[in-house]
Structure 1
Amino acid sequence: MGSPGTPGLADLLESLKQRSGLSYAALAGRCRMSTSTLHRYCRGQVVPDSFGMVERIGRACGATREELNELHSYWLRADEQRAAGTPPDVASDAGAPAAPTGPSAPVPPARRGLIVPMNRPLPWAVVLVLLACLTLTASSGRSAGGRAAEPQWIPGPSWQQAPRAVPATLFGVTMNSSTGTMPAFHVGAVRLWDSGTRWSQLEPQRGVFDWAALDRLVGGANRAALPVLFTFGGTPRWASPEGPKTAYDDGSRASPPDDLADWDTYVRVIATRYRGRVEAYEMWNLAPSPNFFTGSPSKLAEMTRRASRIIKGADPQATVVCPGIGELWQQASRTFLSQFAAAGGYEHCDVAAVKLHQKDFGDKPETMVELAGLIDRTFHQAGFHLRLWNTGAAHRIAVSAPLSEEQADNYAVRFYLIGLYTRYERMYFYNWGGTKIPIVLQADGGAPTRAALFVEELQRWLRGARITSCGHGLPDNLPANVWQCRFLLPSGSGDDEPAAIVWADSGEAVMTAQPGAYRVRHLDGHRQEIREGAELRITERPALVEYQTATASNPWRFLGRAGQRCVPARDLSSARHKLPNGMRAGYASLASRAPTSARWSGPGSPRDPPSGGTRRGKIAEMATCGSGRSPYRRTDHRLRSRQREPARDRLYRLRHPVRHHPQDR
């Protein structure tokens, strides 16, 4: 474990274990590994394959951030030595034969190539050559072991912003039913596709329209107060007789119409008929694709330009959504997006639509973050930064294997959370009403599944919430497999209450409850009261952790012990009678010394805290939780000794003496 007196990975792991007071068996149970494996790690016999295992041990032992960084440095060094074939810098195990020494000792493989007798001084030329080699090695982008250099360590969340409202419309679904029935659980928006509303179904013959299905769907959505996104697609056979067929059995074509005048007429009729009833129009579904659109990017850009002009003329309030570009894991589709942008397609849209999904629909939803990064770079290179809507998945989703009940429940919720993480404005889950997909929310005519009810609970958590940041793993001071988004939630007192939704992308993790944490809410509706410093077990099912702390809207608010809400001194006149007897004296002693501007100035009308008032006033503005003895009394007394008490406050205190509760004495 390093030369004598030199700490290493195993040394630090062993010292953390000893400090924690846990046995090998207890620590191994917390870290989800065998006792023998943990013993080998702490003895230095084996280097863990990933830092995640090292981090899990460190966090279970209560390691600080500095100690975790130190563990990371030691693990990187040991891993590089292992990759280079160099024996790790650890002591020999007890009972193992000592390494041979002396002239007969073999040269380690990684050190062969330059053997210099050490009983002779090195010539200056050799020294200069060695220095030059070391300089070149250090300046190259690779380590001595041939591995790529580590990227820059950037601590903090993945992004942070001023609080921004979480829109209810984020939680969208694509309708896979033409009955007009809306979801029986709460959603924020609906998209119409695979719902009997393709062009070939609405206009089976030129100039002959069948509005029955679309009228039912738009009417049902309007009655449920759900914004409608209508998606164009499925060219009728009569508009492109020689075009390739789509994947549907209605004879529709994947090619654009031969005469764009037919397209103009169709768009105009739709936009005029549903003016004010359809909120947004998606210019086409899933391009490029042999099953949906085989035209060129320039042709699609021209169709978008013409349709946008017509829609804005018929319904100026409507939102024009550019065609949903799909299969973006493939470079060919990203090239299509770039060419569509170069043809001016995005100049005529309010929103850009893409198909954001996993490579394989059984993969973790967090893999969509990688695709979101590819999409973002493609838009950046094209010079466009529009609002983004995720409007579906890939055609192959219908033949993907169904997920287990547990996976379906967790993945459905995390689908929307990844939308928040990637800062998409809307996420349309594919789909509602169908059953031949990996995750079913509700079959048309059936009851919502547990996955749907969990999605509904997520919306309940975030009703009126404002998001501030999202992060993942070690940079955000989290276990490597943990993700987190932070919010400000509305509360009954009128102040925002901090909260965070946390989850693991795989397996479990153990975290310590941060200062101010007092409750955990689970998707099944269960609520768990916790205390600061308590152990939190993070699983693949997201959970909401609520905090009590000062907020931006009221920096004077002080929140104390877990499960208790403190009332500012200025609110004492209306809240004191609700407090336990043991807490009244503490509040009264603070309220009696608060300046008039910090107290209630009239029935039912509190003033804002003074902006630049005295330090004594700020302390008195805070409230205390717990035994009733104010932790600020002695501090307040010292401040009063240096600053004269206003006469009006002194008179108020003399006229209203405080009767202390016995436990305050």
Structure 2
Amino acid sequence: MILRTLAVAGLATLIAAAPAQAKPKPVSPPPKSSWSKVDPSLFGMHVSTLSAGKDFPGKLGGVRLWDTGVRWDQIEKQQGQFDWDRLDEAVATAERSGATEIMYVLGSTPEWAAKYVRPDTYYYGGGTASEPAKLSYWRDWVRAVATRYKGRITSYQIWNEANLASFYAPERPKHWKRMALLTDIAADEIRAIDRKAQIVSASSTVIQGKKFASESFFFRYLRSIANRKVKLDAISVHLYPWTTKGPGGGNPSDRLEGLEMARTVVNKVGLSKVPIWDTEVNYGNRRDNGHDEEVFGPKVGSAYLARTYIDSLRYDVTKVFWYAWESQVMGISTTAPVSGNVLMPGTAFFTLEDWLAGARWGTCSDQRVTVCSLKRSGERQYVLFAPLGKTRTVKLPRAKFDVREVCTLDGECERIKARQVRVKQAPVLLVP
């Protein structure tokens, strides 16, 4: 009897000492706002096997044709002799996969056309990172591509990562002015042939340092573009989080810091009305490049991928091209390396497309969790996500949320119980 009394007393002490569980706090829908349709081309991807005629295993909103074996130096190996087979196949396969945005990158320079040849320092060898030795070589090439793919390739990007010496060599002083000239020439040639094709600036990574807004290639190049009065349809950045410690690592919040720095430059040079596109993005690093390796698990990878596209909607980045469907060199993989099976982040890509493409996007409000509103077929739906690394349970007042199910990035949905939802960093969708 004494032992039993002591046991009961001990249990009571434990119960009294246990912290009370926080009662879920209610959230509210975002304030009323205008609604804008989510263009399916927001959901861009790099897919190297398009040039081999391999169909994409789902919806493909947009594609950037890079690292698909279709660079200038791979097509025009000898002056005036073009091997279009792989690019023909890539464009046809992208069309067959439903892509409404097909972007082609106009570089890199064939050795015969290069002013400089640096096989040991240029990323793709030969003269690929060199400016063309003659501007006529560039004009002829741009004219040939635009003529062949008129009405099929929807946008032309001038160069890839022109701020990096391995992709665009800085041998010439003030080489950003030369890139602005190449941009001007390409814009004139393409528009003379295909008025509907969009002209996208040379891309630049955003290396997050104090002088980015005043001394970076990105700033100097765009300033030269503005001075030349080149009409751009989009400004391209690569928002891999890249701090002063180097590329790799980082998270979607770090990406937004890079976006803010890029937007500061765009505004500073007077190009604020030109849309910003993120034409390469991922997180982490598996390259042997002297920087730390960082690989994210499937759950974190799915959350980061989904947050990237949603953040782009929130902060007016109108197109995003994830790098890359089959690639294993970054920290988040969408497919398995040998089998090619779709992994959780790949499934998240397709699920997010299903949620958002073609829907009408409203606005978001940051509460205990972020709540974003959208409409589909006249029904009000909501996307919720917690701060990175956090988990929060929230209450959904019946008078404010006419929803019955919560859906996750694996494509599954379940009934909402007791008007409460547990929300993590991975977005969820609430539906009627």
- Report TM bin, short chain: 0.7 to 0.9
CA distance 1:509–1:357, change in 2 (3 Å) = same
Of 394, 402, 422, the residue aligned with 2:295 is 402
Query: Which residue matches 2:420?
Result: 535
Are 1:344 and 2:216 counterparts?
A: no
Tell me the distance in 1 between the aligned counterparts of 2:32 and 2:278.
22
Deviations 1:384-427, CA, capped at 9 Å, x for gaps: 12111101149994514332222222222222122222221111
Deviations 1:434-454, CA, capped at 9 Å, x for gaps: 223222223597222221112
Query: Which residue matches 2:276?
Result: 388
Tell me the distance in 2 between the aligned counterparts of 1:511 and 1:542.
14
Deviations 1:302-341, CA, capped at 9 Å, x for gaps: 1111100100111111111111122342456543222222
Query: Which residue matches 1:459?
Result: 353
Deviation at 1:370, TM superposition (A): 1.3
8 Å contact from structure 2 (residues 59, 98) kept in 1? no
Query: Which residue matches 1:213?
Result: 86
Tell me the distance in 2 between the aligned counterparts of 1:255 and 1:197.
17
Q: TM-score by structure 1 length?
A: 0.55
Deviation at 1:354, TM superposition (A): 0.8
Query: Which residue matches 1:25?
Result: 18
Deviation at 1:300, TM superposition (A): 0.8
Tell me the distance in 2 between the aligned counterparts of 1:464 and 1:240.
44
Larger Rg: 1
CA distance 1:462–1:393, change in 2 (3 Å) = closer
Q: Which amino acid is 1:228 matched to?
A: I
Query: Which residue matches 1:411?
Result: 304
Tell me the distance in 1 between the aligned counterparts of 2:249 and 2:223.
34
Q: TM-score by structure 2 length?
A: 0.83
| Larger mean Cα displacement after TM superposition, 276-285 or 455-464 | 455-464
Tell me the distance in 2 between the aligned counterparts of 1:461 and 1:249.
38
Give runs of aligned pairs for residues 231-310 of structure 1, distance below 5 A.
231-245=105-119, 247-295=122-170, 296-310=175-189
Deviations 1:108-164, CA, capped at 9 Å, x for gaps: xxxxxxxxxxxxxxxxxxxxxxxxxxxxxxxxxxxxxxxxxxxxxxxx97x985100
Query: Which residue matches 2:67?
Result: 194
Of 545, 551, 564, the residue aligned with 2:430 is 545
Q: Which amino acid is 1:236 matched to?
A: P
Deviation at 1:546, TM superposition (A): 3.0
Deviation at 1:351, TM superposition (A): 1.0
8 Å contact from structure 1 (residues 502, 543) kept in 2? yes
8 Å contact from structure 2 (residues 407, 414) kept in 1? yes
CA distance 1:367–1:518, change in 2 (3 Å) = same
Tell me the distance in 2 between the aligned counterparts of 1:452 and 1:209.
35
Tell me the distance in 2 between the aligned counterparts of 1:505 and 1:271.
43
Tell me the distance in 1 between the aligned counterparts of 2:356 and 2:160.
30
Q: Which amino acid is 1:299 matched to?
A: R
Deviation at 1:535, TM superposition (A): 2.9
Query: Which residue matches 2:9?
Result: none
| Larger mean Cα displacement after TM superposition, 263-272 or 446-455 | 446-455
Unaligned runs of 5+ in 1: 1-21, 31-59, 66-155, 548-665
| Larger mean Cα displacement after TM superposition, 229-238 or 302-311 | 229-238
Tell me the distance in 2 between the aligned counterparts of 1:509 and 1:497.
23
8 Å contact from structure 1 (residues 200, 250) kept in 2? no
Q: Secondary structure at the match of 1:425?
A: strand
CA distance 1:332–1:216, change in 2 (3 Å) = farther
Deviation at 1:62, TM superposition (A): 5.8
Give runs of aligned pairs for residues 49-198 of structure 1, distance below 5 A.
60-61=22-23, 161-177=33-49, 178-198=51-71
Tell me the distance in 1 between the aligned counterparts of 2:37 and 2:124.
43
Deviation at 1:241, TM superposition (A): 4.6
Give runs of aligned pairs for residues 537-576 of structure 1, distance below 5 A.
537-546=422-431
Q: Which amino acid is 1:542 matched to?
A: P
Tell me the distance in 2 between the aligned counterparts of 1:236 and 1:397.
29
8 Å contact from structure 1 (residues 403, 439) kept in 2? yes
CA distance 1:463–1:193, change in 2 (3 Å) = closer
User: Which structure carries more relative contact order (alpha carbon 8 Å, separation 6+)?
Assistant: 2
Q: Secondary structure at the match of 1:358?
A: strand
Tell me the distance in 2 between the aligned counterparts of 1:501 and 1:444.
34
Q: Which amino acid is 1:467 matched to?
A: W
8 Å contact from structure 1 (residues 355, 394) kept in 2? no
Give runs of aligned pairs for residues 446-525 of structure 1, distance below 5 A.
446-471=340-365, 476=366, 478-479=367-368, 482-490=369-377, 495-514=378-397, 515-516=400-401, 517-525=403-411
Deviation at 1:503, TM superposition (A): 3.6
8 Å contact from structure 1 (residues 500, 544) kept in 2? yes
Q: Secondary structure at the match of 1:347?
A: coil
Tell me the distance in 2 between the aligned counterparts of 1:173 and 1:209.
26
CA distance 1:161–1:310, change in 2 (3 Å) = farther
8 Å contact from structure 1 (residues 326, 393) kept in 2? no
CA distance 1:242–1:419, change in 2 (3 Å) = same
CA distance 1:330–1:201, change in 2 (3 Å) = farther
Structure with greater proportional helix content: 1
8 Å contact from structure 2 (residues 35, 361) kept in 1? yes
Deviations 1:609-640, CA, capped at 9 Å, x for gaps: xxxxxxxxxxxxxxxxxxxxxxxxxxxxxxxx
Q: Secondary structure at the match of 1:277?
A: coil
Query: Which residue matches 2:4?
Result: none
Structure with greater proportional strand content: 2
Tell me the distance in 2 between the aligned counterparts of 1:404 and 1:395.
11
8 Å contact from structure 2 (residues 77, 110) kept in 1? yes
Give runs of aligned pairs for residues 607-622 of structure 1, distance below 5 A.
none
Tell me the distance in 1 between the aligned counterparts of 2:390 and 2:184.
48
CA distance 1:316–1:259, change in 2 (3 Å) = same
Q: Secondary structure at the match of 1:497?
A: strand
Q: Secondary structure at the match of 2:230?
A: helix
Count the aligned residue pairs: 392
Q: Which amino acid is 1:165 matched to?
A: K
Deviation at 1:499, TM superposition (A): 2.0
8 Å contact from structure 2 (residues 75, 83) kept in 1? yes
8 Å contact from structure 2 (residues 239, 259) kept in 1? yes
CA distance 1:398–1:293, change in 2 (3 Å) = farther
8 Å contact from structure 1 (residues 271, 315) kept in 2? yes
8 Å contact from structure 1 (residues 368, 418) kept in 2? no
Are 1:427 and 2:307 counterparts?
A: no
Tell me the distance in 2 between the aligned counterparts of 1:260 and 1:395.
37
Tell me the distance in 2 between the aligned counterparts of 1:367 and 1:182.
33
